Amino acid sequence: MRIAPVVVQHTTDGSSDSWADAVLGTAVTHNDPAAIASSVAFVGLLDELLSIDSTPMPEWWVETFLRRAEPVEGNKTKYRVRGAPIEQSWSGSLCQFIEKFVLASRGLTTLDAAENWYSGAYLLETVPTVLHILMHHSSDPEEAIVRAVNDTKDNDTIGAIVGAAVGALHGESAIPRRWVDGLLGRTVADVDDRKLFGLIASAEGDTNRQPDEP
């Protein structure tokens, strides 16, 4: 959920350092093959979305994620589902889980898909749910984010990931203004310092905009 800024850092330098930054930025708190593979895959996915002019086909989301994640994750680590209704005896890698269950979930609502594998704070739940939402709703950023926030359990994580993806695909103008107007831009609790807007301006290379300006 916090890996998207890696893409911003490396969009103009043509460097492969984005992969190293994705690995390091994840391993600090989640030193796990599936977590690292997910971050690497998502950085690659976001990078591709920035240069796409139309909404990808539903299967593109799963295929693109797996193409980048599988070589990193490997198949030595085995994960198990956490009591979800789907195959209780299943074990395998995150990529194997996605390949087996996510494409098969096409046509299900977010609520029904999330009920199949749950949508809590566990990679075998959050990543499949993100991909399912993007498969079904990436053409409509507002609907994608609403489904991510309203229909899932770990909704801050899932909402952040889905929001980054549809933002990269459609741009800032696709985000409803009523969600943006009035944001405080705070970086410290209870201090409306608006510094976040300055950080965004700095990332965009707008040196004429002052940090305290909206």
pLDDT in tens, the chain (214 residues): 988 888 877 765 556 788 889 999 999 999 999 999 999 999 999 999 998 989 999 999 999 999 999 999 998 889 999 878 888 789 999 999 999 999 999 999 999 999 999 999 999 999 999 999 999 999 999 999 999 999 999 999 999 999 999 999 999 889 899 998 888 877 777 777 777 777 777 766 644 444 344 3
Based on the domain organization, do 177 and 196 belong to the same domain?
Answer: no
Q: What CATH number corresponds to the domain at position 71?
A: 1.10.4080.10
Based on the domain organization, do 131 and 149 belong to the same domain?
Answer: yes
Dmax (CA) of the chain: 58
Residue (of 43, 42, 54) closest to 16 by Cα position: 43
pLDDT in tens, 162-192: 999 999 999 988 989 999 888 887 777 777 7
Based on the domain organization, do 63 and 165 belong to the same domain?
Answer: yes
Based on the domain organization, do 94 and 192 belong to the same domain?
Answer: no
> Vertex 160, ends 9 and 43: CA angle to 5°?
40
Phi then psi dihedrals of residue 92, to 5 deg: 165, -165
Contacts 24+ apart (CB under 8 A), 195-198: none
Q: What does the block give as tokens for 88?
A: 């209780």
Based on the domain organization, do 163 and 196 belong to the same domain?
Answer: no
DSSP state at residue 81: -
Q: What residue numbers bound the domain in which 147 lies? A: 4-181
- The distance in angstroms from the start CA to the end CA of the chain is 24
Residue (of 122, 120, 124) closest to 152 by Cα position: 120
Based on the domain organization, do 150 and 201 belong to the same domain?
Answer: no
pTM for this prediction: 0.87
